[in-house]
Amino acid sequence: MQQKTTLLFDFDGTIADSLHRLLEISNGLADEFGFMKVEHQDIAYFRTKSTLETFRKLKVPLLKVPLIAARVKKEFQREVHLSQPFPQMAQIIPKLSQHFTLGILTSNTETNVKQFLDVHQLSFFNFIYSSSNLFGKSRGIKRIMREKKISQEEMVYIGDEMRDIEAAKTSGIDIIAVSWGAHNAKALASLRPSYLIHHPNELLELFLI
């Protein structure tokens, strides 16, 4: 991809194979906050639904979403070292770092991300931004571009969720959707990302070959 200088990654579901652990934590809070649990057999179904559709289907009280999200992140911090990078990401990230500025924009906490990167010897990222608003990633992208003085043409976002695609489009930057995370290929393709890939090695093909 020509002109790109900065690769901005999502964290959970893109770099870290942590979604099942986050789901376990969320299910553990379901009774306390009055929403439905996601059963194992329903995971494939929810991989086709947007975050807002999932919340509505599970009857998650939207006014309590910030509190629920904070609790999930706090619980995750205790076991962040148990999550693993997706296969091949540990080899790909160092290679990309030799040619591009790497950043992370995540709805997880900066502390959790740093702990994960340290444990797995993946501290190749130049910056980490945490967006506490689940639906506010476009503001995070624009803030990064403004503070780092990066143009829309120079940056690409790499994420696994439909909201990642929406945020990138709202910000006017390219988006590489990855199908190994929260949403499946069909759901991601419905929003027409700039690129849709199915294996981490495809990142090398896009940027270094």
Domain ranges of the chain: 6-17+85-207, 19-81
Task: Give 54-117 as a DSSP string.
Answer: HHHHTT--GGGHHHHHHHHHHHHHTTGGG-EEPTTHHHHHHHHHTTSEEEEEESS-HHHHHHHH
**This prediction's pTM:** 0.91
pLDDT (tens place) for every residue of the chain, 209 residues total: 778 999 999 999 999 999 889 899 999 999 999 999 999 899 999 999 999 999 999 999 999 999 999 999 899 888 887 889 998 999 999 999 999 999 999 989 999 999 999 999 999 999 999 987 666 799 999 999 999 999 999 999 999 999 999 999 999 999 999 999 999 999 999 999 999 999 999 999 999 87
For domain 6-17+85-207, give the CATH number.
3.40.50.1000
